[in-house]
Amino acid sequence: MMSQLLESEAASPLRAKVVAVSLCLAFGAVGIQGGLIALAGDAKEYSLFDTTVSEAPQLRRADILDRNGERLATSISVYSLFADPSAVWDATELAGELVAIFPELDYDALESRLADRDRRFIWIKRGLTPEERKAVFDLGLAGIDFREEARRYYPKGSLATHVLGFTDVDGKGLSGVEHALQTRLSESLEPIQLTLDASVQYSLEAELSAAAVETNAIGGAGVVMDARTGEVLGMASWPTFDPNRPQDSTENERLNRATGAVYELGSVFKPLTMAAGIDLGEVQLREAFDVRNPIRIGSHAIHDDHPVPNGWAATPTAILSNSSNIGTAQIGLRIGKDRQVRFLTSAGLFDSAPLRVSGSASPLIPDYWNDLTTATVSFGHGIAVSPAAFTAAFSSLANEGDYLAPTIVKEADPLDDPRVPERIMSSPTAQVVVEMMRVAVTDGTGKNADVVGYRVAGKTGTAEKPGPNGYDPNRNMSSFAAVFPADDPKYTVLIVLDEPEDDNGRALSAAFSAAPAVGRVIERIAPILDVVPYFEDLRPTGPQARTVSDRRSL
């Protein structure tokens, strides 16, 4: 017993020395780690170091607002999950637990990355929901942590999504205004105000979507513009998508058909041709045109889809209201190639729409311009332009003959050229063409666009789509362009529908697809824009005396 006690007492100093040395080594390691952290920054930032992953702190982007201050895009705080593989105890266990919470993760790939102890940082999942974060936190496993980030959020969902665009997971703009104004949005927290009106935008999107679904169209676009300022109040493309989840959308859904696609829009070009002819002195208002027989140019013949009343002596107003290709082609040939090109160039139709959104498409212009080209372009065939560019050109009719480049951003950009109005036709010419278009709505092809009290003036456009074997009569681009109110025009509306059909698969003309859609848009937005209705005649004398909503229900 005594010998054991003596041995124990002799061993005690040895144990004390071992414990002391161990504690010194432990504290030394902690001291070294602390020194490294002191040099590199705080512990969380040090743990994020990895040369294969971008670690720059994600900065908040400036908000995007509509013209009335409604927030369309903002930045919110979210938490993202990362791991430090060098601190993971069991990669197999951790990978299994995480895949149970996030089934979309690849287990094998995740386990392999977590087992790589040479790495100090890997992303597991970005932008966790509060429920997901709590589930991970409750695991209580070592080697994982959260990082607070700024994430782009669109509080109104898909509203104006093609205008706004979206960002990637790191907050970099990939399309729309988000891309076009990337530098401005990322370097300043001062909000950017757009010219859009959220209420007008909602009305436009709702009616465009309804028209596209009702007519079985494969796509569509719509634009509402303040003709006096060139400000875009609404711009829509269909089909659409949710910018909060762009990964769930297709390329077709992300295409902005209002600016990023070009179309042969057809007869909506005729008012511009008529304006050029009048302004150049090639058309007299009381003149009579013979539109009974097709015009032959070489081996091609230009004809009308339906005969014009009193076709042997058709007035300019009758040509426009009845959408005569023959009469418009005669005017185009009088104008001639050089003056036609000059006029269309001054109307901005030989350039992409100068809007601050990414991917504004350039027009498709004929490589060779002869008499046939001049004739067909006069009624909107052979030249393809974006709906946004055309709306700006058409707005010159409502702006007393002045073309004003369109804009979608309220604030002035010092790098942009000043938006100076350009006179492309006289004010009296613009006024008389608007009066002709009013007749086209009351008595011509645009009857289905009329709205009681708001004096709509406009023009239908039905163009066969070009294909590999020429123009296809079974596939139409249908459009309707309008200005209102006709007696004091302030606003322009354009609706374009791609391949609208009835339920039997027959192609629909603009009179029965795009025109009623424009009427419904005007009926909804006119009160928003404080346009006071004027009731010329309250007697129910015909279809034009019913409201657009009534007609839609028939």
What string of DSSP letters covers 209-261?
HHHHHHTT-SEEEEEEEETTTTEEEEEEEES---TT-GGGS-HHHH--TTTS-
pLDDT, tens digit, for every residue of 446-482? Answer: 999 999 999 999 999 999 998 888 888 899 999 999 9
Within a domain: 324: yes
Within a domain: 143: no
Q: What is the pTM of this model?
A: 0.82
Distance CA 69, CA 460 (A): 35
How would you write 409-431 as a 3-class SS string? ECCCCCCCCCCCCEECCCHHHHH
How many domains does the chain contain in total? 1
Within a domain: 179: no
pLDDT, tens digit, for every residue of 320-362? Answer: 999 999 999 999 999 999 999 999 999 999 999 999 898 899 9
pLDDT, tens digit, for every residue of 166-224? Answer: 999 888 999 999 999 999 999 988 999 999 999 999 999 999 999 999 999 999 999 99
Mean pLDDT of 144-156: 92
**CA dist 167 → 66, 91, 186 (Å):** 19, 32, 11
pLDDT of residue 52: 33
Within a domain: 11: no
Q: How many separate helices (H) and strands (E) can be counted in the chain? A: 19, 14
Domain housing 278:
199-553
Within a domain: 292: yes
Q: Which helix (H) or strand (E) holds 378?
A: helix 371-378
pLDDT, tens digit, for every residue of 60-109? Answer: 899 999 999 999 999 998 889 999 999 999 999 999 999 999 999 999 99
pLDDT, tens digit, for every residue of 35-47? Answer: 333 333 333 332 2
Pull the structure tokens for residue 250.
């297709």
**Contact at 8 Å (CB) between 360 and 260?**
yes
Within a domain: 187: no
Catalytically active residues are 267
Within a domain: 278: yes
Q: What is the CATH number of the domain that holds 354?
A: 3.40.710.10
Pull the structure tokens for residue 315.
């007035």
How would you write 45-103 as a 3-class SS string? HHHCCCCCCCCCCCCCCCCEECCCCCEEEEEEEEEEEEECHHHCCCHHHHHHHHHHHCC
Within a domain: 190: no
Tokens 């014009």: give the residue: 308
pLDDT of residue 170: 85
Q: Which helix (H) or strand (E) holds 460?
A: strand 457-467
Side chain identity, residue 48:
L
**Count of alpha carbons within 13 angstroms of residue 244, beta-carbon side:** 13
- The CA-CA-CA angle for residues 152, 154, 160, to 5°, reads 125
